[in-house]
Amino acid sequence: MPVTLAVDAMGGDHGPSVTVPASLRFLEDAPDARVILAGRPDAIEDSLAKEKPNDRLSVQTAAEVVDMDEPPADALRKKKDSSLRVAINLVKDGTADGCVSAGNTGALMAIARFVLKTLPGIDRPAIASQLPTKTGVTTALDLGANVNCTAEQLVQFAVMGSALVAAVDGIDRPTVGLLNIGEEDIKGNDVVKAAAELLKSSGLNFHGNIEGDDIYKGTTDVVVCDGFVGNVALKTSEGLATMLYEFLRAEFTRNPATRIAALFAYPVLMAFKRRIDPRRYNGATLVGLKGVVVKSHGGADALAFRYALDKAHAEVVNGVLERIAQRIAAMPAPAAAPPSVEARPLPNA
């Protein structure tokens, strides 16, 4: 079945100068696919004029653009003809099978949730992304959509993450780790402890508690955490990787001798850089919605945005939404509806 992706052509720091060439490269390698670019035709035409035409690419006019720092509530209420919203509308009305945006994350989440709604059994959507590990990749969620989660929501994240990994990576029963500050059952806050108990009887392949260093060890296929913790872990990682890269660069450019060493080491350093290239992991999935929505990094270049398009395409082809719905439906019914456990301070010991 041919897949149609809607692209928020105006989103991100670079707009059509990135989204247009990325869409064309994507179409060249996906001969059955179609792309609908949502945005201002004049801006899109400027970028299209530099490229070879492709009749599987079309344009859907959207007069407005959501600013990268615009409050999500404003974008939702006031910009009903934004490129971001028009792209999501194309998914809603069935014209497109999924959409990709490099725009304002909060606005994308708010509008996608408002327009598409969540899947049955899902309280709130989450942001899931692949991260590189020593042994391959892991999928972590939530990375910032939900700052206060209940134990039940963490379980829903686990279900959605498992379904995503099963569908896209072809792992039958992905292992699920619950991000905590110790491996023992007694560690962590009340929400995490309650989530661990629920996960044990969830039917998922629950590995147990994991710690921060397990993310990059690749201890589990899925890493579950609340959005505050996940966002801090992700941003901290970005900051550390940037610092280490700059330190390495500084050492190799310190003096003439180190510059000569850099010449010899250049191919090796480039291989290292390719291996950890964040562009390869671009594209976070907004899971839990009635539609495939992928968020690209705002600063993505055409190569990185292309990876986000590939991700949306793979999710559609592999039926991620159906898989999540099936797994949610297969969850054991909660015994006598346990009360939602919320974060609260421990009594002083």
Q: By CB under 8 A, what part of segment 324-343 binds its own copies?
A: 340, 342-343
**Which residues in the chain belong to E strands, given as ranges?**
4-8, 34-39, 57-61, 98-101, 126-132, 137-141, 175-179, 205-210, 222-224, 284-287, 292-295
In the bound state with its own copies, the residue whose beta carbon lies nearer, of 83 and 138, is 138
Determine how many CB atoms are found less than 10 A away from the CB of residue 30: 18
In the bound state with its own copies, the residue whose beta carbon lies nearer, of 135 and 326, is 135
In the bound state with its own copies, the residue whose beta carbon lies nearer, of 252 and 279, is 252
According to CB under 8 A, which one of 1, 49, 186, 336 is a site residue for its own copies?
Answer: 186
Q: Hey, which residues between 104 and 143 contact its own copies (CB under 8 A)?
A: 110, 113, 123-124, 132-134
Binding mask 154-183 for its own copies (x = CB under 8 A): -------------------------x-x--
In the bound state with its own copies, the residue whose beta carbon lies nearer, of 50 and 344, is 344
Distances (CA, A) of 97 to 37, 44, 228, 321: 13, 21, 30, 11
How far is the C-alpha of 24 from the C-alpha of 343, rounded, in Å?
Answer: 47
Min separation Cβ 70 and its own copies, Å: 11
Q: How many residues bind its own copies (CB under 8 A)?
A: 74
How far is the C-alpha of 193 from the C-alpha of 77, rounded, in Å?
Answer: 38
Q: Cα 184 to chain center, whole Å?
A: 29
Check residue 301 for interaction with its own copies (CB under 8 A): no
The piece of 4-12, 13-21, 236-244, 311-319 that touches its own copies (CB under 8 A) is 236-244
Check residue 241 for interaction with its own copies (CB under 8 A): yes
**DSSP letters of 83-127?**
HHHHHHHHHHTTS-SEEEE-S-HHHHHHHHHHHH-BPTT-SS-EE
According to CB under 8 A, which one of 2, 120, 239, 338 is a site residue for its own copies?
Answer: 239
Q: Which residues pair with 6 in a beta bridge?
A: 36, 99
- The answer to whether 210 and 168 are in contact (CB under 8 A) is no
Check residue 189 for interaction with its own copies (CB under 8 A): yes
Q: Hey, which residues between 203 and 232 contact its own copies (CB under 8 A)?
A: 211-217, 225, 227-229, 231-232
In the bound state with its own copies, the residue whose beta carbon lies nearer, of 200 and 235, is 235
Check residue 265 for interaction with its own copies (CB under 8 A): yes
Determine how many CB atoms are found less than 10 A away from the CB of residue 249: 12
Distance, first Cα to last Cα, the chain: 60
Which helix (H) or strand (E) element contains residue 82? none
Distances (CA, A) of 17 to 36, 203, 299: 16, 46, 12
Q: Hey, which residues between 75 and 94 contact its own copies (CB under 8 A)?
A: none
- The answer to whether 209 and 177 are in contact (CB under 8 A) is yes
According to CB under 8 A, which one of 234, 293, 294, 324 is a site residue for its own copies?
Answer: 234
The piece of 36-44, 148-156, 283-291, 303-311 that touches its own copies (CB under 8 A) is 148-156
Check residue 61 for interaction with its own copies (CB under 8 A): no
